[in-house]
Amino acid sequence: MRIMVTGGAGFIGANFLNLLVPRHEEHHFINADKLTYAANLSSLAGIADAPNYTFAQLDIADASAVEEAFEEHAPDCVVHFAAESHVDRSIEGPRAFIESNIIGTFNLLESARKRWGKDNGLFHHVSTDEVYGSLGDTGMFVEDTRYDPSSPYSASKAASDHLVRAHHRTFGLPVKITNCSNNYGPLQFPEKLIPVMTLNAAEGKPLPVYGEGLNVRDWLYVTDHCEAIWKVVTEGKVGETYNIGGNNEVRNIDVVKIICKLVAEYQGKDASELESLITYVKDRPGHDMRYAIDASKIERDLGWSPAETFETGFRKTVHWYLDNTEWIDQVRSGEYRNWIEKNYTNRG
């Protein structure tokens, strides 16, 4: 297969390519990425020269550029990761989320159906549990939970999911959708909770917890997500949606305390010293309280289950950020500083 992986220079896309390019020499992988602030080609250094890998810079919001990329690279499968992905940025400036996540997905779908016609090719759409909105103390998201997005980010992902399903029902485009919970692991841009807290704890900076820190997220190690996507691409049923989750529900404040413990252990310090850096700051507007995924469909139908536990995955992740200072220094240049200033200054 010729597989176009959009957003392959971002966090999950790069982990996906690093895992699959060496393993599947029979497939050719085309990484189509705009290279926004969230992308980093150095994350792909290990596969950059692989004979079954090509990088192509592409803005999916540009319809004619997408058409040309389909002509040039002739994919028969698209695994669509590319998106603006950070909720706080979608509150600060939603337009890019509409352009990349909605228009960008639409452009890819249109080029795919033009090239493949009916019942040919495969469009795999990588989506999020945030489309389902917020849970109370009980219950879990299943595949037919009603959509109820809260942020411009999740609304844009919900719109893109609807377009993908519409292209299947109306035009017969073969599609599959996965909705996954919070990923953690190496190569995540340090604007998200786990890398922000790990790096701040290591540097003795304040640990900015939104609201009271009682919001709950379900955490999944990134390569477990990538393996699940590959299972669905290769064995899932066309037209189906699969929820992916880690069954690891943790309150944000407890995540931060675990990070303090792991960083303290690494640095030979006392965890209470790092916990004293916890600072409660102004809450995120429209902040979803709790996410929990029921992943029994993918477990039952495709035999997927996560390989990492919360304990093994978190330790590996925290150590990765503390060991890979070169990667960190590189991504924390220019744009990163602007964001940190904008998001956290005067938040309290």
Could you list the active site residues? 129-130, 153
Residue 72 or 212 with smaller CB distance to ligand DAU: 212
Q: What is d(CA 284, CA 213) in angstroms, rounded to the nearest whole number?
A: 11
Residue 236 or 246 with smaller CB distance to ligand DAU: 246
Residue 100 or 252 with smaller CB distance to ligand DAU: 252
Helices 11-23 & 222-235, crossing angle to 10 degrees? 60
Should residue 87 be labelled a site residue for ligand DAU when binding is judged by CB under 6 A?
yes
CA angle 284, 289, 295 (to 5 degrees): 125
Q: What is d(CA 9, CA 162) in angstroms, rounded to the nearest whole number?
A: 25
CB 44 within 8 A of CB 14: yes
Least Å from the CB of residue 308 to ligand NAD: 15
Stretch that binds ligand DAU, among 21-29, 83-91, 234-242, 271-279 (CB under 6 A): 83-91
Least Å from the CB of residue 190 to ligand NAD: 11
194-223 residues near ligand DAU, rule: CB under 6 A = 196, 208-210, 215, 217
Least Å from the CB of residue 129 to ligand NAD: 7
Should residue 160 be labelled a site residue for ligand DAU when binding is judged by CB under 6 A?
no
In angstroms, how far is the first alpha carbon of the chain from the final one? 51
Should residue 86 be labelled a site residue for ligand DAU when binding is judged by CB under 6 A?
yes
Residue 194 or 274 with smaller CB distance to ligand NAD: 194
CA angle 192, 196, 149 (to 5 degrees): 20
Should residue 249 be labelled a site residue for ligand DAU when binding is judged by CB under 6 A?
no
CB 137 within 8 A of CB 290: yes
Should residue 308 be labelled a site residue for ligand DAU when binding is judged by CB under 6 A?
no
Give just the sign of the alpha carbon dihedral 195, 129, 174, 169: negative
Neighbouring residues of 201: CB distance < 8 A, sequence distance ≥ 6: 207, 259, 260, 263, 264, 274, 277
Least Å from the CB of residue 293 to ligand NAD: 10
Chain residues binding ligand DAU by CB under 6 A are 85-87, 128-130, 181-182, 192-193, 196, 208-210, 215, 217, 252, 284, 291
